[in-house]
Structure 1
Amino acid sequence: MARNNYTFTSESVSEGHPDKVCDRISDAVLDAFLAEDPLARVACETFATTNRVVIGGEVGLTDQEKLHEYMGHIDQIARDCIKDIGYEQDKFHWQTCEITNLLHEQSAHIAQGVTGERGDEGAGDQGIMFGYATTETDALMPAPIQFSHAILRRLAEVRKSGVEPVLGPDAKSQLSVIYENGMPVGVSSIVLSTQHLEEMTSDQVREVVEPYIREVLPEAWITDKTEWHVNPTGSFMIGGPDGDAGLTGRKIIVDTYGGAAPHGGGAFSGKDPTKVDRSAAYAARYLAKNVVAAGMAERCTIQLSYAIGVARPLSIYADTHGTGEVDPADIERAVAKSMDLTPRGIREKLQLNKPIYQRTAAYGHFGREPEADGGFSWEKTDLVDTLKKAV
């Protein structure tokens, strides 16, 4: 039996967090290749530490002879990302950090697995992917992660606009959300650690950030009982890769549902959409969101599984967590009827062969507004009628 009264905690990290710097660079590299070749296959990893960024991985192009030509842009792509994030520290500066590019041609064996022996496009790897949706927020996302993201996005806005120039790029937020009768009603604790560019006490930092936190959270959620922990360890002036090394793909729970739903294990950033770690996770979120938007359940988890070189999913699983108006087995059948879940079918339905990924690298891949150029297409609810007819 599902619990209705409890406290659940999720965290988010800002675009200046060391791991998110790496996610951003990896996705920017992916976007650059997709802009030149929509069929590019990219698996890009980034490592960052004091005054150094290392980029590695594999790239496959329709015209592989152009790979060397495109490689000349990687250095500037990384610097542009670091500059936009806001790093101009002595030991991590967009102009002076050393960038090493180790990207190389994609393995022919991986390429043949994706192409498939029969010429049909197979999955880029084996694996399991999960999607989730819930009615507890307008975005059909879990409240703790959605509002943790929102706090950091708001602080980034006022930092970049110059309204709060004392704030630095590196930050983390964490909310413990109180649930009653299965819905969020308040926060028992708020944790925020943010880099600052001048000497400040924890109390002084709180004076800066508290108005924005209150602006983002529902008014009734903060009470006299809410605990505040703002920069609880004191000074936080050295941030980003100078303070702690970063690596692509280390914030997978931040990227998805904040721990409120399962994660298949694979990271997203730096991977082109033939990699089902990314595309099938987007498809699973799309399906779960449309199931909930169709009124079939208040909560829904969708799992998809794949084998490398095999086009169709090996299994489709649905769980409505006791909130369903429709039997989960019927949802599974409806999902299979309503969308082509081969890698090619997912890419075509969600229009994933576009340079739309750099913007996903911070503040979550889910719970965002669909954009005119195809960004966050998996957040649309345009499959509702199709699913209803398929049940």
Structure 2
Amino acid sequence: MARSKNPDEHYFFTSESVSMGHPDKVSDAVSDAVLDSLLAVDNRARVACETMCTTGLVVVGGEITVHNQKAINALNNAEETIRDIIRKIGYTGDIGMKFDADTCAVMRVMHSQSDDISMGVSEGEGLHKEQGAGDQGLMFGFACRETPDLMPLPIDLSHKLVERHAKVRQDNKLIKGLRPDAKSQVTVEYDINNKPVRIDTVVLSTQHTEAWNGKAQQAKLKKAVIKHIIEPCMPKKLYDPKNVTIHVNPTGQFEIGGPHGDVGLTGRKIIVDTYGGRGRHGGGAFSGKDPSKVDRSAAYMARYIAKNLVASRICDVCEVQLSYAIGVAEPTSIHVDTYKTGKLPEPEITQLVRDIFPLTPDGILKHLKLRNPIFSPTASHGHFGRKPGKVKVNGKSYETFTWEKTDLAAKIKKAAGI
């Protein structure tokens, strides 16, 4: 296969994504569905919801504290909430998948949040007057100019592939017999200036019914997947059908999948959820955690900061690190790395961040409007690079993906004098 003219000056970077039907994403979706069901009636609910799913079984555990009868009722109705989200993902009516929303067993193992943690997080109860961070930890945000959403191209394309897969599967017209579990992977070739020059390799593995088993049927499926899923997602300027490697179901077939094929766990796809391996990761997962947990809220704020800095054109690439101590409101550190693309020295950019962005847990929650049931849409296709929008829950409308707004870019630009 042809490569670039100067391969020594080029490099390759790969990211992956997984579909909503991947067992780990099923677990993420269940955890976030339980979280949203509680936030809808108690916006100060404390939730750390973990899920495990396997053949015919979903186990949900964690630490959950609620404050009113409606929330207690929602918690008591958790089984139906869980079955409903599994049904929406597509695990229903196909006994061959051996995992079904209406017949799987649901086990709940939950208790309330530790009083010692609650004391540090609740305003006015701990050593500090302000609401403190729900845990110690470090969180990263990243942004760059490779896509309109200011995301790295490999993860952006990987997400688009599984999103397209979901649409094709749910429509069941262009390709019949796809099942919910799928994985994508995209390798991009970059030049010496870190600019994408072409798509090198695309991988798409999709679960399917037994009708697609066998070499002949898999060959037909590959052609259909390339035509209806892969090619509609590829940027024309970077995608050359004659100069790209494509793998579709490279094991030979993929009938057995979902929670029957692999056990799923909440929080096991943190690189898929973020930037596909670009930049750093603090190690904390998101799904199932209420926004008092800075693992989630501060990671969203770090992305918001990085995206607004890049959108302001103060830099072309940006990574932001925030860190917190449990029970303490102010971050223990702030670090901005512009990868030598900044128009101002990094210490000055860091000071702009301190001056412009609210960085206490309470400030983050208010500014990004996180005390709302908005988290279920994040459980598939990534938490970043998404379009801000609205979601309706119990007849009320809430803003989603607020951390993807670039509404402070103009203020940054003015403060920086650029």
Decide which of 78, 82, 85 is 2:82's aligned counterpart: 78
| Counterpart for residue 178 of structure 2 | 167
1:374 aligns with 2:399: yes
In the alignment, residue 236 of structure 1 is paired with which amino acid? F
Equivalent of 1:105, from 94, 100, 112? 112
Aligned to 1:29: 34
- Which residue pairs with 2:57 in the alignment? 52
Corresponding residue SS for 2:389: coil
Aligned partners of 2:74, 2:334: CA distance in 1, in Å?
Answer: 39
The letter of the residue matching 1:206 is K
CA contact (8 A) 1:174 1:190 kept: yes
- Aligned alpha-carbon RMSD (Å): 1.4
State the identity as a percent.
Answer: 52
- Cα deviation code 1:3-33 (max 9, x no counterpart): 9731100000000000000000000000000
Distance 1:14 1:139 in 2: 20
Q: Is the 8 A contact 2:128 2:328 kept in 1?
A: no
CA-to-partner distance for each residue in 1:225-262, whole Å, 9 max, x for gaps? 21111101012111110010000000000000000111
Alignment of 1:132-143 (within 5 A): 132-143=142-153
Please list every run of 5 or more consecutive structure 2 residues that lacks an aligned counterpart in the other structure. Answer: 1-7, 391-397
Q: Which amino acid aligns with 2:182?
A: A
Pairing 1:310–2:328 present: yes
Does residue 152 in structure 1 map to residue 162 in structure 2?
Answer: yes
Q: Is the 8 A contact 1:199 1:235 kept in 2?
A: no
In the TM superposition, what whole-angstrom CA distance separates every residue of 1:277-336 from its partner, at most 9, and x where no partner exists? 000000000000000000011100000000000000011000000111121111100000
- The equivalent residue for 1:177 is 188
Superposition map of 1:260-339 within 5 A: 260-339=278-357
Given candidates 239, 244, 249, the residue that maps to 1:231 is 249
Partner secondary structure for residue 378 of structure 1 = helix
Distance between the aligned counterparts of 2:219 and 2:280, measured in 1? 37
Retained in 2: the 8 A contact 1:141–1:367?
yes
Query: Is 1:243 the counterpart of 2:248 in the alignment?
Result: no
Q: Which residue matches 2:205? A: 193
Quote the Cα distance in structure 2 between the aligned partners of 1:66 and 1:59.
Answer: 14
Q: Secondary structure at the match of 1:75?
A: helix
- What are the ranges of 5 or more consecutive residues in structure 1 without an aligned counterpart? none
Residues paired across the two proteins, number = 388
Q: What is the CA distance between 1:67 and its match in structure 2? A: 5.5
Q: Which residue of structure 1 lines up, in the alignment, with residue 238 of structure 2?
A: 221
**TM-score, normalization by structure 1:** 0.96
> Which one of 8, 13, 16 corresponds to residue 8 of structure 1?
13
